C-alpha cells in the first residue's frame, strides 16, 4: 500500500495544524467501523446498479485508516458497463472523501495526525486475471479542486478527472508480475503490433522505427522515430497508438510514455518533433473506445490533449522558455569528475547540470519519474530553472539536447 501524488506533499503541512485533544477524541469517537464503510460502498453501488454485483473487503491500512478492496466479479472496467459502474464508484468515493458520509470517517483528518482516511483498491474480473488494480486516495487539496471546478457529476470533465485520479496509481497486487524484463517484453509486443498496421503495409506512410528508450521495474519509455515532421505529426498515425500500445499495456501497471520524434533537421535548422504521449492516457483512450463509452475519434482527441512536448530545439530549452514541463523521468546520471555537479538526462530529451548535494536532497535518481521543469516568468537568462522531483527542487542549468 502506498500514498502518492499530491497527498505526499500535503501531509507534512497538514500535520502542522493542531487542534485540542478534545477535538481529536471527538473525531476518533465518532468514527464508524471498517465494516460499516464497506457496507456503505456496497449498498451505494448496488443501489445504482443492482444488476452488477460489487463486493468489498476491508483491512486496517499501514498509512491510511482503512484500506478497502472494491471488486466486481464481472468485467465492468473494460466492458459495456464501464461508464455506469465507474460513475457509481466515483459517486461513492465522493460521498466518502468529500461529502462527510459516515461522520467523515474516510476523510483526511486535520485533527487526528494518525488518521489519513480511506484508500480504495479497485479491480474487476478482467484486471484481476493480470493481478492489476487501481488505487484511489484523495487529499484535501484535490477535494477543494473537485468541489470548486469539477463539481457536476453529469459532466464529462468530472468523469475524466475522477479517472485521472484513479489511473494515477495503477499497480500490480503481486510484485512477481512487475519487472524490468516484463516491461521490455510488453513494449516489444506493442512495437510489433504498431509497425504491422495496414497503414504502413499499404505504403500510405513511411514505416518508423520503434525501440525502448528507457525501462525500469515500474516504467517504460518507447520511441517511435519518424522520417519527417509530416509523418510524426500525422493524426492517422497517432490514431494507431490506443489500439496497439493502449491495448497491450492496459493489462499492466507500468507508467511511462510513447515518444513520437524525428531526428534533428539537416542544414541551418536545429529543430525536431518530440511529442510524449503518457501510457496511462493511451490506455484510457483505448479502454473508452473498446468499451463503447465514446467513438474512436473522440477517444483519440482526448489523447491528443494529454500530449506533452519534449526537447524540440538542440540549443535552447524548447520553444517556450517560461512554461513548466512534465512527464519526464531520469534516464541517465553522470558524475562530473573533479566537480560537485551531476549531469542529468531526462526522457524528454533535455540534459541538465545539477549540484550534487541539491540532486540528493531533491531525490534525483535513476528512474525517478514525474520530473517537472519550472522556469518562472521573466528573463530566462537571469532565472535559474528548477527540476522538481519527488522530494523537492534542485537548481539546474540547461546543458543541451541529447
Q: CA–CA distance from 90 to each of 8, 42, 45, 154 (Å)?
A: 22, 13, 10, 12
Q: What is the pLDDT of residue 394?
A: 85
Report whether 288 contacts 301 (CB < 8 A).
Answer: no
Report if residue 1 sits inside a domain: no
Q: What is the pLDDT of residue 91?
A: 96
Q: Report residue 226 as a C-alpha cell.
A: 519518424
Task: Say if residue 208 is in the same domain as residue 338.
Answer: no
Cα–Cα distance measured from residue 399 to residue 385, given in angstroms and rounded to the nearest whole number: 12
Q: What is the pLDDT of residue 23?
A: 42
Q: What is the pLDDT of residue 270?
A: 82
Report if residue 246 sits inside a domain: yes
User: What backbone phi and psi angles, to 5 degrees, belong to 139?
Assistant: -100, 180
Strand partners, 262: 226
Task: Say if residue 201 is in the same domain as residue 293.
Answer: yes
Task: Say if residue 183 is in the same domain as residue 199.
Answer: yes
User: What backbone phi and psi angles, to 5 degrees, belong to 35?
Assistant: -65, -35
Q: What's the distance, Cα to Cα, between the start and end of the chain in Å?
A: 37
> Look-up: residue for cell 483505448?
286
Report if residue 316 sits inside a domain: no
CA 238 from chain centre, in angstroms, equals 20
Cα–Cα distance measured from residue 134 to residue 396, given in angstroms and rounded to the nearest whole number: 34
Task: Say if residue 161 is in the same domain as residue 15.
Answer: yes
Task: Say if residue 27 is in the same domain as residue 132.
Answer: yes
Q: CA–CA distance from 243 to each of 164, 193, 230, 255 (Å)?
A: 20, 9, 21, 17
> Look-up: residue for cell 503481486?
174
Task: Say if residue 127 is in the same domain as residue 162.
Answer: yes
Q: What is the DSSP string of 304-332?
A: HHH-EE---BSSSSSS-SSS-EEEEEEEE
Q: What is the pLDDT of residue 20?
A: 38
Report if residue 227 sits inside a domain: yes
> Look-up: residue for cell 491495448?
247
- Residues 6 or more apart whose CB falls under 8 angstroms from that of 150 comprise 157, 158, 161
Cα–Cα distance measured from residue 204 to residue 198, given in angstroms and rounded to the nearest whole number: 9
Q: In the listed set 113, 142, 176, which residue is the last one of a domain according to the structure?
A: 176
Q: Report residue 265 as a C-alpha cell.
A: 533537421
Report if residue 314 sits inside a domain: no
Domain that holds residue 349: 325-401
Cα–Cα distance measured from residue 329 to residue 213, given in angstroms and rounded to the nearest whole number: 11
Report if residue 93 sits inside a domain: yes
Cα–Cα distance measured from residue 55 to residue 343, given in angstroms and rounded to the nearest whole number: 50
Cα–Cα distance measured from residue 75 to residue 63, given in angstroms and rounded to the nearest whole number: 30
User: What backbone phi and psi angles, to 5 degrees, belong to 352?
Assistant: -130, 150
Task: Say if residue 171 is in the same domain as residue 186.
Answer: no
Report if residue 290 sits inside a domain: yes
- Residues 6 or more apart whose CB falls under 8 angstroms from that of 402 comprise 311, 345, 349, 350, 351
Cα–Cα distance measured from residue 271 to residue 4, given in angstroms and rounded to the nearest whole number: 36
Q: What is the pLDDT of residue 139?
A: 77
Tally of domains within the chain: 3
Total-model pTM: 0.87
Task: Report mean pLDDT in 10-residue bins for the chain, 402 residues.
Answer: 37 34 47 93 96 89 80 94 97 92 84 79 95 89 77 91 93 85 96 92 86 95 94 90 96 95 76 94 97 95 92 77 68 91 94 91 89 69 74 86 90
Strand partners, 333: 344
Closest residue by Cα to residue 242 from 208, 279, 209, 207 = 279
Rounding to the nearest 10 degrees, give the CA dihedral for residues 248, 81, 133, 106.
150
Task: Say if residue 377 is in the same domain as residue 297.
Answer: no
Report if residue 165 sits inside a domain: yes
Amino acid at each position: 500500500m502506498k500514498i502518492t501524488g499530491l497527498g505526499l506533499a500535503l501531509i507534512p503541512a497538514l500535520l502542522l495544524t493542531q487542534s485540542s485533544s478534545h477535538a481529536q477524541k471527538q473525531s476518533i469517537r465518532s468514527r464508524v467501523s471498517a465494516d460499516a464503510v464497506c457496507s456503505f460502498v456496497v449498498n451505494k453501488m448496488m443501489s445504482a446498479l443492482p444488476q452488477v454485483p460489487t463486493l468489498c473487503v476491508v483491512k486496517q491500512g499501514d498509512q491510511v485508516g482503512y484500506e478497502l478492496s472494491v471488486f466486481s466479479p464481472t468485467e465492468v472496467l473494460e466492458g459495456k458497463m464501464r461508464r455506469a459502474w465507474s460513475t457509481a464508484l466515483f459517486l461513492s468515493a465522493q460521498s466518502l472523501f468529500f461529502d462527510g458520509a459516515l461522520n467523515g470517517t474516510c476523510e483526511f483528518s486535520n485533527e487526528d495526525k494518525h488518521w489519513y482516511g480511506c484508500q480504495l483498491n479497485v479491480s474487476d474480473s478482467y484486471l484481476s486475471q493480470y493481478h492489476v488494480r487501481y488505487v484511489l486516495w484523495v487529499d484535501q487539496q484535490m477535494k477543494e479542486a473537485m468541489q470548486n471546478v469539477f463539481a457536476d457529476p453529469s459532466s464529462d470533465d468530472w468523469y475524466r478527472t475522477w479517472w485521472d485520479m484513479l489511473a494515477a496509481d495503477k499497480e500490480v497486487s503481486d510484485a512477481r508480475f512487475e519487472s524490468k524484463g516484463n516491461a521490455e517484453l510488453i513494449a516489444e509486443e506493442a512495437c510489433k503490433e504498431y509497425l504491422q498496421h495496414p497503414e504502413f503495409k499499404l505504403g500510405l506512410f513511411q514505416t518508423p522505427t520503434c525501440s525502448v528508450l528507457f525501462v525500469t521495474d515500474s516504467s517504460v519509455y518507447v520511441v517511435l522515430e519518424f522520417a519527417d515532421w509530416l509523418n510524426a505529426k500525422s493524426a492517422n498515425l497517432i490514431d494507431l497508438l490506443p489500439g496497439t500500445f493502449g491495448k497491450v499495456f492496459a493489462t499492466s501497471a507500468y507508467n511511462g510514455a510513447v515518444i513520437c520524434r524525428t531526428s534533428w533537421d539537416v542544414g541551418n535548422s536545429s529543430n525536431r518533433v518530440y511529442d510524449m504521449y503518457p501510457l496511462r492516457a493511451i490506455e484510457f483512450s483505448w479502454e473508452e473506445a473498446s468499451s463503447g463509452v465514446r467513438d474512436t475519434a473522440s477517444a483519440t482527441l482526448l489523447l491528443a490533449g494529454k500530449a506533452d512536448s519534449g526537447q524540440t530545439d538542440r540549443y535552447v530549452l524548447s520553444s517556450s522558455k517560461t512554461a513548466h514541463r512534465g512527464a519526464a523521468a531520469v534516464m541517465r546520471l553522470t558524475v562530473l569528475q573533479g566537480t560537485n555537479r551531476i549531469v542529468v538526462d531526462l526522457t524528454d530529451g533535455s540534459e541538465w547540470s545539477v549540484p550534487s548535494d541539491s540532486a540528493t536532497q531533491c531525490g534525483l535518481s535513476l528512474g525517478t519519474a514525474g520530473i517537472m521543469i519550472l522556469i518562472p516568468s521573466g528573463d530566462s537568462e537571469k532565472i535559474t530553472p528548477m527540476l522538481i522531483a519527488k522530494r523537492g527542487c534542485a537548481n539546474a542549468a540547461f546543458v543541451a539536447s541529447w
